[in-house]
Amino acid sequence: MSPQQTSSARRRLPRWCGLALGAALWGLSAPVAAQMEPFEEGLAVGEWTFYPSLELRLRGEYRRDPVDVGGDVYDRWAVQYDGLDDAFVGRPVPMVLRRDPAVRDQYLLSERARLGMKVGWNVITANLVLQDARVLGVLPGAPAGIDGGGEGTFAPYQAYLDVRSDIEDPWLWVRVGRQRVRWGDGRLIGDDDWGPRAAPFDAARMHFSFGDVDVELMGAMLAFPGAIPPRLGSAELQQAVNEEDEPVNAEGTGAQLYGLMAQYRLFPVLGFEVTGLARIAREPVSSRLTRGDTYTIDGRIFGDHRGVSYAVEGAYQLGRVAGFGANRDLSAFAMAGRVSWLTALPWSFEFGARGAYASGDDSAGQGPELKRFDPILPTTHEHHGMMDLYGWSNLIEGGADVSARPHEMVLTSLGYTFVGLAQPGDRWSTANLVPVGAAPDNESRILGHEIDAMVEVRPWDPIGFGAGYGVMVLGDGGKAIVEAAGRGGGDLLHYGYLQAELKVP
């Protein structure tokens, strides 16, 4: 072999070696790739499967003339709680602690981070998700000095144990611990994931599946047992003493929520759902609850077929709630409906319409019967406009929206909603069930007209960016309540937000 041929062979040797090495690595990587499961399906280690998760969200918000800060500051936020005025006469809003100056401009920056690990072994699954949520600014509806200054919270968002009858198609599963819960459209029991901290349940659930029928039982702790505040205990209870002869307060049972949900899917286009809820509230309770027994019966008809999705729902509420000097009977009802049509047009246009009604109280907080509907623990932001200005209580609502995808990564939507009051003299509550106020002499049912616009860009499935703007033109009813509560200063309410999020998987 000549020196030139030897040199050429040496030059070709790395190329052939590289190809051989590449072929060997490809051959080795094939079985390795076959053993690697998609991230969403977990990471298998022996008989154990691990499901890590990560969520990061940063949102900036701006409100012009917010209706739930400034003005009257209430001692409680509960929907069923009516206070007294200075003359000790009942009124359709909670007790007023003070009146703060009206807020014209509100800026809010919030961050939320979740880190979780779900571990499965055979039919047993354990899930732990830690959440850090912080709000820099004034949390809407919070009294001054409460939850301000960006203190935030760090706590488990989910922490539960799940046991199933089998892995593939369980007819029974039981879940105990802190968990997300959503029944139906989430109008009564929802996860409220839009909020800074969301609203998990400390609950035990049991779910049965029998073909097309699903039945679920739930018991949740809304307020844990503990000492009753001295102002609410009787004189004898306040004078109780312990073994060291020291005064102690009485112990209360707290608040619990019990539920039953049954669902029957006859056809894809026709399904039926029945829900029963019982909320038993005793002291100690949070500012969002009122002592009493609230029973809610709800029925829903739903379905979807060829791009058309719909749901019609009705609920009736009864029981009794504590008042000043006497208990009040509860008798309230609500209805809601939605329909949407996803077309085959370019840009995947989708058209939707919705409507809702929820009874209000007609006694100005003074009657023996309370007729204001309480939506218990609903999903916010989803059903009642982007601005979160109103909820499923003392409500008349009618709206329509249209959305489109001009690009596979881009979603846009535009919507209009008419918002009214079922009882003009009763309170106005936000989507978070925070009382805005009431004007007992108001005669107008028109709360306002809301227009919303939103765009979402998702360049990669785990990463998303969103922006939205909403404006409400206050009607005479809305103006009267805002003025009576000492809030805002204009006839136009503005809201805008920018958001970035990362979610894996």
67 pLDDT band (50/70/90 cuts)?
very high
**Looking at the predicted structure, is the pLDDT value of residue 276 above 50?**
yes
pLDDT, one tens digit per residue, over 369-421 is 999 999 999 998 889 899 999 999 999 999 999 999 999 999 999 999 999 99
β-strand 327-342 against 369-370: which pairing, if any?
A: parallel
CA distance 212 to 267: 9
- Which pLDDT does position 247 carry in this prediction? 59
What value does the mean pLDDT take over residues 477-504? Answer: 94
**Looking at the predicted structure, is the pLDDT value of residue 234 above 60?**
no
- DSSP secondary structure letter of residue 344: S
- Which pLDDT does position 137 carry in this prediction? 67
Peptide bond preceding 505: is omega within 30 degrees of 0, i.e. cis?
Answer: yes
**Looking at the predicted structure, is the pLDDT value of residue 141 above 60?**
no
**Looking at the predicted structure, is the pLDDT value of residue 32 above 50?**
no
What value does the mean pLDDT take over residues 421-427? Answer: 97
CA distance 323 to 362: 16
What value does the mean pLDDT take over residues 267-294? Answer: 94
Amino acid at 376: I
- Which pLDDT does position 398 carry in this prediction? 98
65 pLDDT band (50/70/90 cuts)?
very high
- Which pLDDT does position 41 carry in this prediction? 78
Domain 32-231+249-504, classified CATH 2.40.110.10, yes or no:
no
The two structure tokens encoding residue 325: 């000097």
Average confidence score pLDDT of the chain: 87
Q: Where are the beta strands (DSSP E) in 343-409?
A: 350-358, 369-370, 395-407
* Residues 6+ positions from 489 with CB-CB distance below 8 Å: 65, 102, 104
pLDDT, one tens digit per residue, over 435-484 is 999 999 999 999 999 999 999 999 999 999 999 999 999 999 999 999 99
Cβ atoms of 268 and 302 within 8 Å: the answer is: no
| Count of beta carbons in the 10 Å neighbourhood of residue 325 | 8
Contacts by residues 339-346 (CB-CB < 8 Å, ≥ 24 positions apart): 339/308, 339/309, 339/310, 340/308, 340/309, 340/310, 341/307, 341/308, 342/307, 342/308, 342/309, 343/307, 344/307
CA distance 125 to 355: 40
- Where are the alpha helices (H) located in 270-329, listed in sequence order? none
- Which pLDDT does position 231 carry in this prediction? 53
| Count of beta carbons in the 10 Å neighbourhood of residue 62 | 15
Amino acid at 413: S
6 pLDDT band (50/70/90 cuts)?
very low
CA distance 374 to 327: 17
- DSSP secondary structure letter of residue 426: S
The two structure tokens encoding residue 82: 């009516």
Q: What is the 3-state secondary structure (H, E, C) of 81-133?
A: CCCECCCCCECCCCCEEEEECCCCEEEEEEEEEEEEEEEEECCEEEEEEEEEE
Query: Between residues 78 and 242, which one has the greater pLDDT?
Result: 78
Cβ atoms of 489 and 70 within 8 Å: the answer is: no
What value does the mean pLDDT take over residues 2-28? Answer: 40
CA distance 278 to 318: 10
CA distance 445 to 423: 7
Residue 402 bridge partners (DSSP): 351, 414
304 pLDDT band (50/70/90 cuts)?
very high
Cβ atoms of 401 and 352 within 8 Å: the answer is: yes
CA distance 388 to 393: 13
Q: Could you tell me what percent of the chain has a pLDDT over 90?
A: 70
Q: Which of 77-86, 157-166, 343-352 has the lowest mean pLDDT?
A: 77-86
Cβ atoms of 425 and 188 within 8 Å: the answer is: no
CA distance 45 to 27: 23
Q: For 475, left (φ over 0), alpha (ψ -120 to 50), or beta?
A: beta
176-202 burial, b for 16+ CB within 10 Å, e for fewer? bbbbbbebbbbbbbbbbbebbbbbbbb
CA distance 75 to 89: 16
263 pLDDT band (50/70/90 cuts)?
very high
- Which pLDDT does position 192 carry in this prediction? 84
Cβ atoms of 414 and 406 within 8 Å: the answer is: no
* pTM to 2 decimal places: 0.86
Q: Which of 17-31, 138-152, 168-182, 373-387 has the lowest mean pLDDT?
A: 17-31
- Which pLDDT does position 243 carry in this prediction? 61
Domain coordinates of the chain in residue numbers? 32-231+249-504
Q: For 38, left (φ over 0), alpha (ψ -120 to 50), or beta?
A: beta
- Which pLDDT does position 258 carry in this prediction? 99
Degrees, nearest 5: CA angle 448-453-456: 145
Main-chain dihedrals φ then ψ at residue 11, nearest 5 degrees:
-70, -35
CA distance 383 to 354: 8
pLDDT, one tens digit per residue, over 99-109 is 999 989 988 89
